[in-house]
Amino acid sequence: MNQSPSQTIETLGEFLAHALELEHESAERYRELADSMEVHHNPETAELLRKLAEVSEDRAAEVGQRAEGVQMPEIPPWDFKWNCPGSPESACMEGDISYLMNTRQTLELALHNETRGRDFYAQVAASSPNQDVRRLAADMAEEETEHMDLLRRWAEHTSHQNSTPQEDLDPPNMPE
């Protein structure tokens, strides 16, 4: 690891450069996971993941706008790559592995990485000596927390359906 996210972020430019990479990476992974869910004939979860991809993409665009006119440092490629729960060193998103994942694993992976993103923003919000950076990072941490809640609720929702096999084309009416 060349640059640990726990390193203090001092300037707005430095923070924006990290946020930009984090949001782009997230958007890309959500799109891959959405594709994977389509392969698994789970269009509802695919749709949720596409929404999250859009949110990350919008966020990246906002960050990009904010970065206009701000001096962004040339930072070495940051190590924010999505990884698997329980294995910090292995990027399980490489290659075709994502196509073998079921809905539960997909949501677990997404939640794991949202949590890492939230922790990154929260840590910056708590430790940066720069007030603008702290404020912005706190906002972003809060938004990540909302994404985590959304994924948790969705995981709960889908776990109720896990007992029914995928080829169940006539699901019982859900009283809601």
**Residues that bind Zn ion in the complex, under the rule CB under 5 A:** 114, 144, 147
| Pair of tokens at residue 108 | 């677990």
Pick the closer one to Zn ion by CB: 14 or 144. 144
DSSP β-bridge partners for residue 84: 87
| Pair of tokens at residue 27 | 């958007």
Smallest separation (angstroms) from Zn ion to the CB of 144: 5
Smallest separation (angstroms) from Zn ion to the CB of 56: 6
Pick the closer one to Zn ion by CB: 149 or 168. 149
Indicate the residue type of 154. Answer: W
Cα angle 1, 130, 116 (rounded to 5 degrees) comes to: 40
Smallest separation (angstroms) from Zn ion to the CB of 147: 4
Pick the closer one to Zn ion by CB: 58 or 168. 58
Decide: residue 96, CB within 10 A, 0-12 exposed, 13-18 middle, 19+ buried. exposed
Q: How many CB atoms lie within 10 A of CB 120?
A: 21
> Residue 84 — φ and ψ, nearest 5°?
-80, 150
Smallest separation (angstroms) from Zn ion to the CB of 162: 24
Smallest separation (angstroms) from Zn ion to the CB of 139: 12
Pick the closer one to Zn ion by CB: 21 or 114. 114
Nearest to Zn ion by Cβ — which residue? 147
Residue pair 8/127 in contact by the 8 Å Cβ criterion: yes
Pick the closer one to Zn ion by CB: 85 or 129. 85
